[in-house]
Amino acid sequence: MRASLPGEPSSSSAVPSTVPAALAATALRRPDREALVDGDVRLTWSQLHDQVQTLARFFLTEGVRPGDRVAVQAPNTWHWVVSALGALSLGATLIPVSTRFTGHEALDVLTRSRASALVVADEFLGVDRLAELREAGLLAEGSGSGPSTILRVPMPGRETRDGIAWSEIARRAEGVPVEKAEVHTEAVRPDQISDVLFTSGTTGRSKGVMSAHEQALDIAAAWAGHAGLTEHDRYLVINPFFHSFGYKAGILACVVSGATILPLSVFDVEQALRLIERERITVLPGAPTLYRSILDHPSRADHDLSSLRVAVTGAASVPVALVEEMRRELSFDSVLTAYGLTEAVMATMCRPGDDPTVVARTCGRATAGFEIRIDSASGEVLLRGPNVMRGYLDDPVATRETIDADGWLHTGDIGTLDRNGYLTITDRLKDMYICGGFNVYPAEVEQALAHLEGVGESAVIGVPDERLGEVGKAFIVPRPGVTLRVQDVLAFCKSRLAGYKVPRQVEFRTELPRNASGKVLKTELRAASHR
């Protein structure tokens, strides 16, 4: 574990070096304080620890062993928290799977991670994810493919028939003594891989980012320290748990600080306002659009939001006026911005007391042991430190391309550092854009479009959007003699891609602009779209 840097919180040095040890320590220190609140479910830290231990015993009963991989594809609920911590307490590796993925996308993650168990939501918001996985080819009769254990998370929608019901956990766990589970928990090592988070790459194929227990906790402790999280805080986690922010800066930050976790499965402004008032929420991170929607909601004045204390945002440009309005109208004492990526989670963060202009125009300064430098030739932001990922799963070539021989992680973002060490992101070397807080890689969308009959060529860029920050615009060159319609393109994308990846605009062209080497000039496409 790193030593604290000057001016940084020192709490991380006292945090245990494995997730199960951190949970046990918090449960011992604060057994009767609320740990997790989700609707009618209210668990103290002692009760959460017991639930996690029971789930670890259940996994053992089902044949899951330390080092195996447990995938979770479910919305933000208390079940996700217990599932993730249960897998980590056993010494298994957690594989979060996006609930926005189609069956084909989720299948790719499950297959490449070789998951031994899958925790999956019953039908939710009209989507039966297990049925989609089967349609995509997973778990086909007689195929022998897929996880050997499927545990279902109960949802308000129709119950899925396959797999093991959540209500069966306690009964099945009886086959494994508590002492046996504890042996596995105590054997978890700080340098052991805790999780693999899949993120899309510029090649269009997702990469599995590997992190160790000590890294996940160090990041969480740094985040909690800068936000000033304590056992008295109540944290409304809207960022999806399958995302590094919701999982590490959400669940794990609460585990190390003792703050109460309040998950929200679907963001609805009115519901969020009611929760803030009823549960006295103090910490509310999210994309800038989240705060804008709260500020503009007609019933905002009808709710008591005075408990709000800390906001952490990023993922898009943040107007200075928004920061000032959040402090003035939503009672936030601290509005902070941060910068990170899955390969590093959180590299920079503003500090309480920073001027609104600094908060809006920069991403803060280095944290969690990171060094930052700007490549003199390209302007690319480079990161180095103990919390850089351990590498991409089963992809040493991509790992070497991303982390150089001197240990510098090449982020693909262009930025500047001021004399105080504050980072400002100015552009991207890669074509990635951010839609509603989620990274979208055009190459992945372009690969999907290549499978649509009649598409000769395509190029996708991000264009400004008032609500989501950026949305996709697809430029398509149809094959000779083929007529494509916008609705056909969008329908095809919706069947293959998560919603945030689906382009919102489609423009047909006879050709795409290219340079002398034949590369598509996306700068020209962006310029034409902004005119």
CATH of the domain at 48: 3.40.50.980
Give the single-character DSSP code of 247: I
- Give me the sheet containing 164-165, strands edge to edge: 164-165, 149-153, 117-121, 69-73, 93-96, 193-199, 207-212, 391-392
C-alpha to C-alpha distances, 163 to 117, 120, 150, 167, 225, nearest whole angstrom: 11, 9, 5, 12, 40
CA distance 440 to 461: 10
Q: What's the burial of 526, exposed, middle or buried (CB within 10 Å: 0-12/13-18/19+)?
A: middle
The C-alpha angle with vertex 261 and arms to 70 and 244, in degrees rounded to 5, equals 50
Asked if residue 437 and residue 424 are part of one domain, the reply reads no
Within 8 A by CB and 6+ apart from 410, the residues are 380, 382, 401, 402, 403, 404
Residue 391 maps to a domain = yes
Count structural domains, the chain: 3
CA distance 362 to 418: 9
Instruction: Examine the fold and report which residue of 191, 212, 237 is the final residue of a domain before the chain moves on.
Output: 191
Asked if residue 418 and residue 448 are part of one domain, the reply reads no
Asked if residue 489 and residue 345 are part of one domain, the reply reads no
Q: Is-contact 264 224, C-beta < 8 A?
A: no
Residue 181 maps to a domain = yes
CA dihedral 216, 77, 30, 175 (to 10 degrees): -90
Phi/psi of residue 323, each to 5°? -60, -45
Q: Is-contact 62 35, C-beta < 8 A?
A: no
Percentage helix, strand, coil for the chain under 3-state DSSP, each rounded to 5: 35, 25, 40
Q: How many CB atoms lie within 10 A of CB 199?
A: 18
pLDDT digits (tens, 9 = 90+) for 9-25: 434 446 789 999 999 99
Residue 211 maps to a domain = no
Q: What's the burial of 158, exposed, middle or buried (CB within 10 Å: 0-12/13-18/19+)?
A: exposed
* Run of H or E residues at 97: none
Q: What is the pLDDT of residue 158?
A: 76
Mean per-residue pLDDT of the chain: 90
Q: Is-contact 312 338, C-beta < 8 A?
A: yes
Terminus-to-terminus CA distance in the chain, angstroms?
A: 50
**Nearest CA to 216 among 256, 250, 252, 258?**
252
**Nearest CA to 314 among 290, 339, 281?**
339
Q: What is the pLDDT of residue 447?
A: 79
Asked if residue 440 and residue 409 are part of one domain, the reply reads no
* CATH number, domain with residue 493: 3.30.300.30
Asked if residue 327 and residue 185 are part of one domain, the reply reads no
For residue 102, the SS3 value is coil
Q: What is the pLDDT of residue 141?
A: 41
Asked if residue 136 and residue 121 are part of one domain, the reply reads yes
The model carries a pTM of: 0.84
Instruction: Examine the fold and report which residue of 156, 191, 226 is the final residue of a domain before the chain moves on.
Output: 191
**Nearest CA to 203 among 412, 405, 509?**
412
Q: Which domain holds residue 314?
A: 267-428
**Nearest CA to 432 among 462, 410, 476?**
462
* Run of H or E residues at 464: strand 455-465
Asked if residue 159 and residue 15 are part of one domain, the reply reads yes
Asked if residue 380 and residue 289 are part of one domain, the reply reads yes
Asked if residue 411 and residue 272 are part of one domain, the reply reads yes
Residue 116 maps to a domain = yes
Q: What is the pLDDT of residue 442?
A: 84
Asked if residue 413 and residue 305 are part of one domain, the reply reads yes
Q: Is-contact 168 55, C-beta < 8 A?
A: no
Residue 412 maps to a domain = yes
Phi/psi of residue 440, each to 5°? -125, 130
Q: What is the pLDDT of residue 201?
A: 45
Residue 249 maps to a domain = no
Q: Could you please report the per-residue DSSP string of 129-185?
A: HHHHHHHHTTT-TTT--S-SEEEEEP-SSPPPSSSEEGGGHHHHHTTS-HHHHHHHH
The C-alpha angle with vertex 448 and arms to 447 and 449, in degrees rounded to 5, equals 90
Within 8 A by CB and 6+ apart from 301, the residues are none
Residue 336 maps to a domain = yes
Amino acid of residue 177: P
pLDDT digits (tens, 9 = 90+) for 260-305: 999 999 999 999 999 999 999 999 999 887 898 899 899 999 999 9
pLDDT digits (tens, 9 = 90+) for 171-192: 999 999 999 999 999 999 999 9
Q: What is the pLDDT of residue 514?
A: 78
Q: Which residues of the chain have pLDDT under 70?
A: 1-14, 139-145, 200-204, 315-317, 427-428, 515-519, 531
Q: Is-contact 146 116, C-beta < 8 A?
A: no
C-alpha to C-alpha distances, 91 to 193, 427, 440, nearest whole angstrom: 9, 40, 32
